[in-house]
Amino acid sequence: MTPPRNSNAARDIANVLHPYTDARAHQKNGPLVITRGEGVRVFDEQGNAYIETVAGLWCASLGFDNERLVQAALKQMRQLPFYHAFTGRSHEPAIDLAEMLIERAPVPMSKVFFCNSGSEANDTAVKMIWYFNNAIGRPEKKKIIARIKGYHGVTVASASLTGLPYNHKLFDLPIQGILHAGTPHYYHCALPGESEDQFTTRLANELEEMIVREGPETVAAFFAEPIMGAGGVIVPPAGYFEKIQAVLRRHDVLFVADEVICGFGRTGSYWGSQTFNMQPDILTCAKALSSSFLPISAVMVNDRVFQGLADGSAGLGTFGHGYTYSGHPVPAAVAVETLKIYDEMDLVGHVRKVGPVMQEGLRRRFSDHPLVGEIRGVGMIGAVEFVSNKETRANFDPAVKIGPRLVKIAEGHGLIMRALPGDGIAFSPPLIITAEEVNDMLDRFGRALDDLTVQLRRESITAV
C-alpha cells in the first residue's frame, strides 16, 4: 500500500537513506515511524505500543524517558552549550565524567579520551595503538587481530575489525593489516566430540599460531567484545579469555575490550570484562554511557599506553587526533547524570535479580520448541537461534529469512525485535525492565513464534 503523499512515511521514502536497510525494499515498504517513548515501550504514529526488546540498539538502558537526563541536558545547554577539548581546553562535565569512568574501570586505567560513537572509539583505539608503537620505537608492530563475527563499528578501521561479510562487501574492506581469529561459539564451531575446554584450548592455540606465523614483532593488538553482540550474542565458553590473554601476554600484544554493548551492567557486572575475567590495556565504551540520550563514547587507556602516547605527542608537539565534539559538554553532563542514576538505583543489582528471569524464562519456555536450536545469554542479553534440524544444528536457507519474518510478525504482537546473523533473534531490553515486563515480553514472543511456526508449515518449509 502506497503511503499518502505528505505522510511521514512518504517523506521518509523520498528523502532518507537508512543505515542497515535494504534501500530498494524500503522504497516499497517504508518505515515504522516512532513518535514517543515511555519506560521500556515506544509508540508509533497510530499510537500502537511496542516493548523494545533490544533497547533500541542495545543502548537505551534507562528506557525511553527519564526526566533527570532531560534536565541535565537542559541545565548544561543553558550554562555552556558547547566547548571543545583541543589544545588543553576543558570543562567540568568532561572532567567529572573522565574521573567517574576511571573510578569505575574494571582494571587500573590512566586517562580517558572522548568520542561520539562506539565506531569512533574503536577507530581511535586503532590509531592510538599505531601511534603508541611508533612512539616507543616499534614501527613494524602494527597488525591487529579481531574475530570472525565480532562487531566493532562501521568507520573504515572499525568496520575492518568487524568480522561480518555485509560490513566488508562492496566497501573494499577490510584494510590491510587487519586479521580475524576464530569465533568462540561452541554450539557451531566445536569439532565432533570436542569438550568446551578442548575447544577453548584449540582457539587459543590457533591464535598463537596466527601470531607466530605473522611474526610477533608485527602484531600489535587483539580486539574482543566480552559477549559478541551483533554477530549473534555469542557467549564465550568458560576459560576462553584466560587462555587468550595468556597468549597475548606471551607475545606483548595489547588487549582491547570493546564494552560498547556489554558495559554498564548489561552482563550482570558493571563491565563485561568483570564477568569474563578480562584485563584489557584499552577499553572502549558508548551506548549506555549516556543511556543513549545523547551521542558520546570513551576510550580508556592504561598508564603504559598513555606514557607512549604522551612521549609521542611531546616529540611532535601535539597528539594529532580528536573530534570537534570530543567530550561535548551536553552529552558529557547527561552521561555524568546517567552514571549517578546507575549508582543510586543499584542497576547492577537490579540486573542480577531480573536477568535470571529472562534467561530462565527463555530456556524454560522455548528450548524444546522444534524450531529452536540454541538459547544463549548472560544477564540482560540473550538470543534464540532457529534451526531447520535440531540434530545437525543446520540453520534455514537464508532465502527463507526466518529472523526478519519473525521480527515482522512480532510487531503485530507489540514487540520490536532484532534479527541476528544465522537465524537468531536478540534480547537486550532496557535494563530498567521489571520481572513482570520480562514475562509479558516472553509471552508476546511465544505468540509470535507460534504464528511463524504455522506460517512455515503452511508453506511446507517445515513439517513441525
Q: What is the DSSP string of 247-279?
A: HHHHTT-EEEEE-TTTTTTTTSSSSHHHHTT--
Q: Based on the domain organization, do 320 and 369 belong to the same domain?
A: no
Q: Based on the domain organization, do 161 and 304 belong to the same domain?
A: yes
In-domain check, residue 134: yes
The pLDDT assigned to 463 comes to 63
In-domain check, residue 15: no
Strands (E), 7-101: 34-38, 41-44, 49-52
Q: Based on the domain organization, do 313 and 353 belong to the same domain?
A: no
Q: Based on the domain organization, do 302 and 379 belong to the same domain?
A: no
pTM value is 0.96
Q: Based on the domain organization, do 258 and 398 belong to the same domain?
A: no
In-domain check, residue 5: no
Q: Which domain holds residue 338?
A: 68-345
Q: Based on the domain organization, do 45 and 94 belong to the same domain?
A: no
User: Residue 434 maps to which CATH number?
Assistant: 3.90.1150.10
- The whole-angstrom separation of Cα 175 and Cα 166 is 15
Q: Based on the domain organization, do 287 and 201 belong to the same domain?
A: yes
- Output the tens digit of pLDDT for each of the chain's 464 residues: 667 778 999 999 999 999 999 999 999 999 999 999 999 999 999 999 999 999 999 999 999 999 999 999 999 999 999 999 999 999 999 999 999 999 999 999 999 999 999 999 999 999 999 999 999 999 999 999 999 999 999 999 999 999 999 999 999 999 999 999 999 999 999 999 999 999 999 999 999 999 999 999 999 999 999 999 999 999 999 999 999 999 999 999 999 999 999 999 999 999 999 999 999 999 999 999 999 999 999 999 999 999 999 999 999 999 999 999 999 999 999 999 999 999 999 999 999 999 999 999 999 999 999 999 999 999 999 999 999 999 999 999 999 999 999 999 999 999 999 999 989 999 999 999 999 999 999 999 999 999 999 999 998 887 66
Q: Based on the domain organization, do 326 and 375 belong to the same domain?
A: no
In-domain check, residue 24: no
In-domain check, residue 9: no
The pLDDT assigned to 464 comes to 66
**Number of structural domains the chain divides into:** 2
34 and 46 Cβ atoms separated by less than 8 Å: no
Q: Based on the domain organization, do 213 and 304 belong to the same domain?
A: yes
- The whole-angstrom separation of Cα 62 and Cα 26 is 30
Q: Based on the domain organization, do 40 and 117 belong to the same domain?
A: no
Q: Based on the domain organization, do 302 and 196 belong to the same domain?
A: yes
The pLDDT assigned to 6 comes to 82
In-domain check, residue 11: no
Chosen domain end from 285, 320, 345: 345
User: Residue 163 maps to which CATH number?
Assistant: 3.40.640.10
Give residue 286's Cα distance to chain centre: 9
Count Cα atoms within 13 angstroms, Cβ side, for 137.
Answer: 0
Chosen domain end from 345, 375, 397: 345
- The whole-angstrom separation of Cα 126 and Cα 223 is 10
Chosen domain end from 345, 361, 384: 345
Count Cα atoms within 13 angstroms, Cβ side, for 353.
Answer: 11
In-domain check, residue 337: yes
Nearest Cα to Cα of residue 68 among 262, 343, 267, 286: 343
Q: Based on the domain organization, do 171 and 255 belong to the same domain?
A: yes
In-domain check, residue 386: yes
- The whole-angstrom separation of Cα 42 and Cα 48 is 8
The pLDDT assigned to 4 comes to 74
